[in-house]
Amino acid sequence: MQNHSLSHDSAVLIIGGSLVGLSAALFLARRGVATIVIEKHHDSAPHPRAMGFTERTMEHYRAAGIGERIAQVPPQARLRRVRADSLTGAWRQETEWTPGETQERRASASPCGEGVTAQVRVRDSGAVLTLRAAYLIGADGAGSPVRTALGIERQGIGHLRTLRSILFRCPGAEPYLARGITQFDIEQPGFKCFLTTYGDGRWALMFDQTQPVGDDLVELVRRALGQDLAVEVLATGRWELAGRIADRFSQGRVFLAGDAAHQLPPTRGGFGANTGIDDAANLAWKLSRVVQRRSSPLLLDTYDAECRPIAWLRHQQTLARPDYAQWAKGTLEHEALFGNEAMELGQLQRSAAILGAGPALPAAAHPDQWAGQPGTRMPHVWIEAGGRTLSTLDLATDGFVLLAQDRSWIDAARAQTGPACPLRALQVGVEIVFPADASFEHRFGVAADGAVLVRPDALIAWRASRLAADPARTLADAIKQVAMLA
């Protein structure tokens, strides 16, 4: 075994190059932070790791400049599932993911010292590299060697079952998608399975590994299809269906993200990868500010404070849905059931970097029920800015942004913007114009002379409902706390 010491100036080392590790690298790169990603496989996995991506995930990718390169499907399509004898046989009953909710959607390693040291073995040559970085992200999946090395335990419902899956093509099955249903719970005497499509000609058949189904995979697929259609098997996989949340999402200079931090049972909207990509977006702007010595390392403590409760909320909400009733067995009957949009776009986050997320606020609500409360995602409104139509979310993709109609706030913000905290001030009604039916005051819950401070991840960090006696000092105090200036 060879031992090489590699010297470089990477600020962040990422272990795991799947959905969450690569997202973290992307989000950090566009904020000017150098990363090294270590992945144990040569190529992409032949079996896709996710099919349902939420609007919030797409907002993160839109902010990173790659949103338009990712194919979009109408949100309703991925939610519709039916119980069936087979794909081509009798379809019995369409099942809801969130009962009582209408399907209408608005159009609208060492924690000590000055850094981390990792020893990485190159699988082909056996060479061992010693890499140093200021910080490390463990995005190395549910079995996370990084989490295990740190001795971080997990809690939750635990292992529910292990599924086998068959990825296949079947052009003859495509016409059965015409009615807009893409997910099928198939129940036959002696055989239960779940059939779904990735929408690009690839289908996946999943079933509990304990079912005695034999070795003929093509025959099994045809049994689920209900007809002798031509089938090409592309890949097979085995998945653990489990709910486990790490006791800590960070330790010293090491951060857990994605399945390493939270293993969530699959859902119709997809909490697994989407929650992990949210972790990466939350961590990236904070790490970039700390690496660039603009913010105190205390800002990094807010990662666990903000993201771990979200993972727990999604764990509980998954088990509270009828799909998981057989495992929850009524233990969650007092859990408030939040709708799909509340879970995707309307969660509340709390930490020392968010001022005014009052204790009486719910953990989540439909985005239309929020009005600019700190800790919630900035509301999406189509606005006019310099002759272009933009989403308000397009304003908050880089640094902190202050929105105000009153010139005093804008002058106060422009007087204190600087290298430590670049602050973009946008005057409502002058530089950005809201539509009459979605005014700034109404959507952000402030008076006409109020102000709203939005973080680089589009979360509302602070707001002033009215003009302060000393706007410059009030704003300076708020920024000092929410950015945790170094």
Ligand X SMILES: Cc1cc2nc3c(=O)[nH]c(=O)nc-3n(C[C@H](O)[C@H](O)[C@H](O)COP(=O)(O)OP(=O)(O)OC[C@H]3O[C@@H](n4cnc5c(N)ncnc54)[C@H](O)[C@@H]3O)c2cc1C
138 or 372: CB nearest ligand X: 138
226, 243, 265, 270: residue in contact with ligand X (rule CB under 6 A): 270
According to CB under 6 A, which one of 18, 86, 251, 349 is a site residue for ligand X? 18
Nearest C-alpha neighbor of 321 from the set 78, 96, 128: 96
Judged by beta carbon, residue 12 or residue 19, the one nearer ligand X is 19
- Return the residues of window 143-202 that contact ligand X according to CB under 6 A: 145, 165
Name the minimum Å distance from CB 376 to ligand X.
Answer: 21
Residue from 11, 25, 38, 231 that binds ligand X (CB under 6 A)?
Answer: 38
Size of the site for ligand X (CB under 6 A): 31
From 14, 16, 288, 317, residue interacting with ligand X (rule: CB under 6 A): 16
Part in contact with ligand X (CB under 6 A); list of ranges 36-44, 226-234, 344-352, 439-447: 36-44
139 binds ligand X (CB under 6 A): yes
How far apart are the C-alpha atoms of 439 and 474, rounded to whole Å? 24
- Judged by CB, which is closer to ligand X: 181, or 390? 181
Q: Does 51 bind ligand X (CB under 6 A)?
A: yes
Closer of 24 and 464 to ligand X (Cβ): 24
Which residues inside 67-96 make contact with ligand X, applying CB under 6 A?
Answer: none
Question: In what side-by-side order are the strands of the sheet with 400-404?
Answer: 423-427, 400-404, 451-454, 460-464
Question: How crowded is the C-beta side of 459, counted as CA atoms within 13 Å?
Answer: 25
Q: How far apart are CA 427 and CA 433, in angstroms?
A: 9
Nearer to ligand X, 55 or 259 (CB): 259
Least spacing, CB of residue 271 vs ligand X, in Å: 6
| Distance from C-alpha of 403 to C-alpha of 203, rounded to nearest angstrom | 46
Q: Is residue 266 a contact point for ligand X (CB under 6 A)?
A: yes
Q: Based on the shown chain and the rule CB under 6 A, indicate whether residue 259 belongs to the binding site for ligand X.
A: yes
- Rg of the chain over all Cα atoms, to the nearest angstrom: 24
Site of interaction with ligand X (CB under 6 A): 15-21, 38-41, 49-52, 139-141, 145, 165, 239, 258-260, 266, 270-274, 276
